[in-house]
Chain A
Amino acid sequence: MIADLSADEEKILNDVKIRLAKYGKERGQLIPILQMIQDKLAYLPHITMEMVAQHLDIPPSEVFGVATFYNQFRFNPPGRNPVKVCLGTACHVRGGDIILENFERKLEIKEGETTSDKEFSIERVACVGCCALAPVTLIGETVHGNMAPSKVEGLVMRVQIEKEMKEREKQKNESGQ
């Protein structure tokens, strides 16, 4: 869970520190503060929760308890291609959990985690608003409807191939210039 922060993240962290000072010290501020941090950093690193605890003068364990209670907070940085598997009512009925399981197995991570190359992360979401296409999965911003377990591997491969193609093109451009 304790991830090393990148240089960019350090910068944002300093910004977060300044913003933190503007919040009141009431306990009720805890969730708005956590939301602000997640908004800036896209996740809640270990160290920020300790910062918040210090600011509000409550035990760090309490901050952690509250943050883990809510699905909206995540503790791993999202991957470049966040996989969001819908488990809303329609998708659940059409076997969304099997799709989730397939992604977990294919990418060898659990829900809420990120692959070691930071390429993929898996999240479960509740309804993305196109139940007619159930079961639905989002990869990045792209909606993939009528998902089937057999499509999982293909989708992951497609993302990887697209990435490789982009890299090749980039190399071509650079060598051409």
Chain B
Amino acid sequence: MLTLTVDGKEIQAKKGTTLLKACLDNDIYIPNLCYIDGIEETAASCRLCFVEIEGEEKPVTSCTVPVKASLKVKTDTPAVRRLQKTALRLLLSVHHVDCKNCPANKKCALQDMAKFLKVGLKPGHLQHCLKEPEIDTSHPCLDYYTNRCVLCGKCIQVCLTHNGQPEITFARRGFNTVVSFFGTAKNEKDSCDECIRCVDICPVGALVLKSSP
């Protein structure tokens, strides 16, 4: 066990875990979207889990930092909060905010973070840009809501770890990036119906079962 200081509080963490996991396990909340507990290779793509570490010049993503003894970490400096707020605002600027009609309402990672960081759900001064089409219904048992997705990649990662071959993937590039179901043959219906790990892990309700409203 290693002892490190986070926000002036001493916490214990097992060697080999990441700083993000150590903090979350000790009830210190750090906003995050793409981190999956138990999967070592993190995408570090959401750019939300920033922290400041003493001795480091700039804030770093806590999901990529392995814990070390006597690490001094601060999770709520102005620089960190500014980065997190900007990242969240950018995510919301491409998000179709329609919480009332969203199955993830009240258990949505974006809502939680917006509350935590005191950021409004409306895009504010940023241009609101949505993709077309709104829903991809090409999968036999799943629906994909393009404008709810935050592109965290968790669904692809769990599909890869549990099935060996991911049925879903990122397609296209830049603003047009979507999660797509290419090559999901019709006979995958049963196996997908049984698994639905991607639906369970989705933090924002972008992947839903076809039968649900």
Contacts and interface: CB of A to CB of B under 8 A. Distances in A.
Interface string A46-64: 0001100100000111111
From A49, A63, A69, residue with most partner B Cβ within 10 Å: A69
A68 interface: yes
Interface in A56-86: 59-65, 68-69
A69 B168 CA distance: 15
Interface residues of B, number: 14
B183 A65 contact: no
Contacts, number: 42
B166 A64 contact: no
B182 A61 contact: yes
Nearest to B170: A65
A81 to B, nearest CB: 26
A68 B167 contact: no
Interface in B163-180: 165-173, 180
A61 B192 CA distance: 15
A60 B184 CA distance: 8
Contacts of A50: 183
B169 A61 contact: yes
Contacts of B50: none
Nearest to B173: A69
B172 A62 contact: no
A27 to B, nearest CB: 14
Contacts of B173: 68-69
Contacts of B170: 65
Contact of A59 (B165, B171, B180): B165
Nearest to A64: B182
Interface of B: 165-173, 180-184
Given A65-B182, A68-B171, A69-B173, 19 more contacts: A49-B183, A59-B165, A59-B167, A59-B169, A59-B183, A61-B166, A61-B167, A61-B168, A61-B169, A61-B180, A61-B181, A61-B182, A63-B183, A64-B169, A64-B171, A65-B171, A68-B172, A68-B173, A68-B180
20 contacts: A50-B183, A59-B169, A59-B183, A60-B183, A61-B168, A61-B180, A61-B183, A62-B166, A62-B169, A63-B182, A64-B171, A64-B182, A64-B183, A65-B170, A65-B171, A68-B171, A68-B172, A68-B173, A68-B180, A69-B172
